[in-house]
Amino acid sequence: MTEQTLTSAAAERGPLAMEAVSVSKDFRLGHGHTLHAVRDVSFGLYRGAVVALVGESGSGKTTAARLLAGQVRLTSGVIRLDGQAVEVSSRSAFRRYKSQVQLVFQDPFASLNPVHTVRYHLERPVKLHQPGADVSKEVVTLLEQVRLTPARQFLAKYPHELSGGQRQRVSFARALAAHPTVLLADEPVSMLDVSIRLEMLGLLDDLRRRFRLAMLYITHDIASARYFADEILVMYAGEIVERGPAEEVTQRPAHPYTQLLVASAPDPDNLGSALRGSGRRILSQEPYGSQPPQGSRKPEDAATTGCPFSPRCPFADDLCRREDPALMPVSATRAAACWHLDIAAPEVVSGPLGGGFPTTL
Amino acid sequence: MLEIRDFSVVYRTPGGDVRAVDRVNLSLAGGEVVGLAGESGSGKSTLAYGACRLLRVPALITSGSVRYQGRRLAQGSKAADVLQMSPEELQRIRWREIAIVFQSAMNALNPVLSVRDQILDVIHAHMRMPRDEARERVAGLLDLVGIPRSRLRSYPHELSGGMRQRVMIAMALATDPEIVIMDEPTTALDVVVQRDILAQIVELKDRLGFSILFITHDLSLLLELADRIAVMYAGQFLEIATAGEIHREAAHPYTKGLLNSFPSLRGPRRELAGIPGSPPDLRNPPPGCPFLPRCAYGTPACREVDMELLPVVTSADPQHVTACPFVLPGTPPPGVLAAPADGDLDMPDHLRTAGRPEPAGELRTATEQGS
């Protein structure tokens, strides 16, 4: 397998904490349909590093996180934590696992119980995962770690008395209560106002550094991944179609889908050219179709053969519709799954990055 | 076309009145796209809904006028005040003249009505039109927003988020309104779909000639989309200018903070700061500038600012107005806004330090104050 030659851009930060190897998840939909939510996905999470999983809704990002969190059973593949294959068959094994791997959800309005106080939300995981600890002292420490100060003031509050940002801080504190080594953050800032998103990412970054957390950052905002993550994995219809160092993937996207994502991000420096003014533009003119995401969402459309992006891809030909390209390295740290990288991204393949790597292209 | 003057809304609560919108002025010309930017709780939705009289108790409009002058309505006569209208007059204005695309398409559509029936409902409620013609119009509207006609009989749960949002837009356009208010129409959507829908909105606007009041917390979107941008904070406007002016020389520290809040994909990696802290309690607004507790350039004099929008001296554009009288050009040195955020709710320490020079009543440079 060619992929083994690839080194993760996140690996230089620290040792491997968690690893997904050829992980797949199918959901049976009835009527003989199967939804391939995650297909043959492999990546590693390293201590002190952030790996971003970027893709649109329905691309399988959240399912991937839930697989890593042990909340859904794998269809195939292995997840390893500290080199050990994960078995969460028993309740106690699951709890041990949870004390190392914690998940933060997208919606701070839904993930906290409205009838319980902040204190209750934090005391429970402390009692569960740190038996014998001084609970009230630990809870105060947790609140201070997420910068909810003065902590005493927040303990008796109910979720509805907190702002969205404060609620999300409570969710972070709750995740930290278990003293995890891996933090899976599923769109942790997308429900928050733009003005406080940075602050929250800054806080996550601070926690990552302080506790050497191995972090998976799931988002549809590739621009925030550029700033926050070491490595970016781009997911489409359950597959990783491109991966590499954050700066390289965002500045010189190789896969046509990544190029579409980058082109769709709002560009404040591009005043007037794209949306304002007159005439028609953007996607209606560009080769990319504007169909809703297909693949994993609608089973009848799922490209069972060929590249899942081929129906929307401007470069697609018969080969693309017939055979699904594997993730192939284009440099020591980058890989993309596309038959036509030489046309789609010639500068990536032939540039200094591509030197010395045998590819089939 | 729409002229909002001296408009105030309070929410009556047991803990006192919340001044959600405080004496704001805003106008919207024909065919114009005006962006309303601000954080949640800044009063942007309250302003828009209040101007259409869509708010319920405990919201109370305490002052102001909203003059509307449509092309179809009462030609030649003077503009009517929405706030003084009788229920019948309001019924005629709503949707026919001013339509709203509501925030979450997931919840704003009726789950037990098909797409066609929902739009038919709107048409029959607000226009006199024969049944056949109305049905034909619904199909035409779906074409307009790029939904295949085969989806006419679909129910909302059978549509993707992007499609639902398109249905909302089709509904808003069903009666050919003059003004469309869009309240965060794309916030819940993916970037690719968002871009697609925005492009469609702009194209429809060019074709049909309506005006848009676009409400969002994402200033980066407005920079691309809007003609003019009004930045709202704690129920007041802090700055109003064209998108280009805001982008080139934002005057208010809050606008600068917003501009420095989103990571950009292109160009060099900038030092990003965001805006530490959270908005003030509107039951008990602080005197002077409401942004003072979070402002990196604040001085004691800011407590006496009367928040009047004045032209920015350094700007060539007289329409560029701001409520901050202490700003001169020059981007702040990077990191100035990145004051540590410990103690979110408190005033930053440097504002309390004694011995700070009082501004001499004249303009001082931002860098001087920030140092």
Q: How far apart are CA A297 and CA B160, in angstroms?
A: 10
Q: How many angstroms separate the CA of residue B313 from the nearest CA in chain A?
A: 23
Cβ separation of A269 and B342 shorter than 8 Å? Answer: no
In a mutagenesis test of the B interface, which of A195, A250, A291, A301 is the best target, namely the one with the most B β-carbons within 10 Å? Answer: A195
Which chain B residues contact residue A148 at CB under 8 A? 344
Mean pLDDT of all residues in A237-252 = 93
Q: ipTM of this model?
A: 0.73
User: Between residues 283 and 302 of chain B, which touch chain A (CB distance below 8 Å)?
Assistant: none
Cβ separation of B343 and A149 shorter than 8 Å? Answer: yes
Give the model's pLDDT for residue B342. 37
Where helices occur in chain A by DSSP H, the ranges are 61-68, 91-98, 118-129, 135-145, 151-155, 164-176, 194-211, 222-228, 246-251, 256-264, 318-322, 341-344, 346-350
Give the model's pLDDT for residue A42. 94
Q: Tell me if chain A has a CB within 8 Å of the CB of B316.
A: no
Residue B304 included in any domain: yes
Look at residues B230, B254, B271 and tell me which one is the last residue of a structural domain.
B230
Q: Are residues B221 and B300 in the same domain?
A: no
Closest chain A residue to the Cα of B242, Cα to Cα? A271
Q: How many angstroms separate the CA of residue B344 from the nearest CA in chain A?
A: 8
Q: How far apart are CA A308 and CA A235, in angstroms?
A: 11
Residue B224 included in any domain: yes
Q: Tell me if chain A has a CB within 8 Å of the CB of B163.
A: yes
Residue B278 included in any domain: no
Which chain A residues contact residue B244 at CB under 8 A? 271-272
Residue A345 included in any domain: yes
Look at residues B230, B251, B266 and tell me which one is the last residue of a structural domain.
B230
Query: What is the sign of the dihedral through the CA atoms of A192, A197, A199 and A205?
Result: positive
Per-residue model confidence as pLDDT tens digits over B98-114: 999 887 766 788 889 99
Mean pLDDT of all residues in B132-153 = 88
Per-residue model confidence as pLDDT tens digits over A312-324: 888 889 999 889 9
Residue A298 included in any domain: yes
For residue A77, the enclosing domain spans: 1-86+233-263+284-354
Q: Which residue has the higher pLDDT, A224 or B273?
A: A224
Per-residue model confidence as pLDDT tens digits over A128-176: 898 888 999 999 999 999 988 888 889 999 999 888 889 999 999 999 9
Residue B156 included in any domain: yes
Residue A313 included in any domain: yes
Residue B272: pLDDT band with limits 50, 70, 90? confident
Q: Could you tell me the CATH number of the domain that includes residue B80?
A: 3.40.50.300
**What is this structure's pTM?**
0.80
Cβ separation of B278 and A197 shorter than 8 Å? Answer: no
Residue A210 included in any domain: no
Residue A351: pLDDT band with limits 50, 70, 90? low
Residue B370: pLDDT band with limits 50, 70, 90? very low
Give the model's pLDDT for residue B6. 92
- Structural tokens at position B237: 């406007």
Domains in chain B, number: 2
Residue A131 included in any domain: no
Mean pLDDT in chain A?
Answer: 83
- Max avg pLDDT among A263-272, B87-96, B236-245: B236-245
Closest chain A residue to the Cα of B258, Cα to Cα? A195
Cβ separation of B272 and A227 shorter than 8 Å? Answer: yes
Mean pLDDT of all residues in B155-177 = 87
Mean pLDDT of all residues in A34-41 = 89
A147: left (phi over 0), alpha (psi -120 to 50) or beta: left
Q: Which of A51-55, B64-68, B316-320, B338-342 has the lowest mean pLDDT?
A: B338-342
Q: Are residues B216 and B302 in the same domain?
A: no
Give the model's pLDDT for residue B81. 85
Look at residues B230, B247, B271 and tell me which one is the last residue of a structural domain.
B230
Q: Are residues B221 and B321 in the same domain?
A: no
Q: Which residue has the higher pLDDT, A121 or B276?
A: A121
Helix then strand count (H, E) for chain A reads 13, 12
Other Cβ atoms closer than 10 A to A94: 15
Closest chain B residue to the Cα of A269, Cα to Cα? B247
**Does residue A217 surpass a pLDDT of 60?**
yes
Strands A335-336, A239-245: pairing is antiparallel
**Does residue A270 surpass a pLDDT of 50?**
yes
Mean pLDDT of all residues in A4-18 = 84
Residue B216 amino acid letter: T
Q: What is the DSSP string of B234-300?
A: TTEEEEEEEHHHHHHH--SHHHHHHHTSS--SSSSPPP-----S-PPPTTSPPSS-TTGGG-TT--G
Give the model's pLDDT for residue B221. 86
User: Between residues 4 and 43 of chain B, which touch chain A (CB distance below 8 Å)?
Assistant: 33, 39-40
Domains in chain A, number: 1
Which of A165, A265, A283 is opposite residue B265, by nearest beta carbon? Answer: A265
**Does residue A46 surpass a pLDDT of 70?**
yes
Q: Which of A41-45, A137-141, A169-173, B355-359 has the lowest mean pLDDT?
A: B355-359
**Does residue A285 surpass a pLDDT of 50?**
no
**Does residue A8 surpass a pLDDT of 90?**
no
Q: Are residues B210 and B320 in the same domain?
A: no
Q: Cα–chain-centroid distance for residue A25?
A: 16
Closest chain B residue to the Cα of A224, Cα to Cα? B263
CB pairs under 8 A between A and B: 153
For residue B24, the enclosing domain spans: 2-230
Cβ separation of B258 and A195 shorter than 8 Å? Answer: yes
**Does residue B160 surpass a pLDDT of 60?**
yes
Q: Could you tell me the CATH number of the domain that includes residue A315?
A: 3.40.50.300
Per-residue model confidence as pLDDT tens digits over B181-192: 998 888 777 788
Q: Are residues B303 and B216 in the same domain?
A: no
Q: Tell me which residue of A217, A101, A218, A106 sits closest to A167, measured CA to CA.
A: A106
Percent of chain A with pLDDT over 90: 46
Contact A100, A181 (CB under 8 A): yes
Q: Which of A210-219, A297-306, B167-176 has the lowest mean pLDDT?
A: A297-306
